[in-house]
Amino acid sequence: MPHTPRTGPHDRGRLRAAAVAACVTAVGLAGCAAETGARDGGVAPRLSPPTSASPLWPQYSPPVTPTSEPTGPGRRYLSIKDVEVPAAGLKGIPVQELLEKDPNVPKLVQAELEACPGPECGLRKPVYRDLTGDRQDELVVGLDAPAAGLTLVQVYRAFGSAVRPVLISWGPLGLTGEIFGHDLVLVSTGNDGRFTTRYRWDGNVLSAAAPQDQTGDSAQKSAAPSPPPTETPPAPAPTPTPSRTE
């Protein structure tokens, strides 16, 4: 007959300890497995919407003209004498009067203003936007000069009670623009596509942003492209590296 070994008290204690250890191990493994599943991490953080462009003249449809890129600031501009900023800010100054007294604009502008007001007036509706980040609106002026085939976009800023331009930009007829954050993006459309130039406040004027900084936050140094036209405007000179969008 086969011999069945006897188990003493010590043997039975060791068996019970082994069984308990096995149970603990099984429970631990089950707990680890549970941790690998989906867990509620709480309320998701709220995302901020990206900055979107705001057209200056949303109802304006530019004509398609031969491609030419807008010009930018070529100098620091003079303050306008005999014009003081009232308590209402730049909105309290008539735009035509501002242009007529501005020593920075050429005679071409003065000639175009002779048709204003009237059906042949090329002066667009003034636009007021904060382009310097100081929570004070600048004045954006647009003037079409069909005879010259050009459009002027000019930005004025108040300096205390004085006012002067911080951007004078000439482009092909139909030049328009958008506001992106505090940046001004000028857009010209021609046979070769759509060209944009982005301007940013540098502490003195609105200067063209370099391509690598088109969406950055740092200000660029003032560029010095061709000055605005005089009595007979030349073909608009290119600004520093504009961005092209198809």
Strand bridging mode 127-129 / 138-145: antiparallel
pLDDT digits (tens, 9 = 90+) for 51-105: 666 777 777 655 544 444 444 444 578 889 899 999 999 999 999 999 999 999 8
**DSSP string across 166-190:** EEEEEEETT-EEEEETTEEEEEEEE
Over pLDDT 70: what percentage of the chain?
Answer: 57
Helix (H, G, I), strand (E, B) or coil at 101: helix
Confidence bin at 126 (pLDDT 50/70/90): very high
pLDDT digits (tens, 9 = 90+) for 201-213: 999 999 998 765 5
Long-range contact pairs involving 179-184 (C-beta distance under 8 Å, separation at least 24): 179/53, 179/54, 179/55, 179/56, 179/129, 179/131, 180/51, 180/52, 180/53, 180/54, 181/51, 182/130, 182/131, 182/132, 182/133, 183/131, 183/209, 184/131, 184/140, 184/155
- Distances in Å between the Cα of 122 and the Cα atoms of 150, 152, 163, 239 are 11, 10, 23, 24
Q: Please, is 68 exposed, middle or buried when counting C-beta atoms within 10 Å of its C-beta (0-12, 13-18, 19+)?
A: buried
Neighbouring CB atoms inside 10 A of 88's CB total: 8
Question: For the chain, first and last CA: distance in Å?
Answer: 98
Q: Please tell me the distance from the alpha carbon of residue 113 to that of residue 96, in angstroms, as a whole number.
A: 7
For residues 222 and 77, the model is more confident at: 77
Cα 133-138-141 angle, rounded to 5 deg: 140
Q: Are 197 and 242 in contact (CB under 8 A)?
A: yes
pLDDT digits (tens, 9 = 90+) for 164-185: 999 999 999 999 999 999 999 9
Confidence bin at 154 (pLDDT 50/70/90): very high
Biggest alpha carbon–alpha carbon distance for the chain: 131
Q: Is the pTM of this model over 0.85?
A: no
Spell out the alpha helix ranges (H) of the chain.
Answer: 9-35, 95-101, 107-113
Long-range contact pairs involving 30-36 (C-beta distance under 8 Å, separation at least 24): none
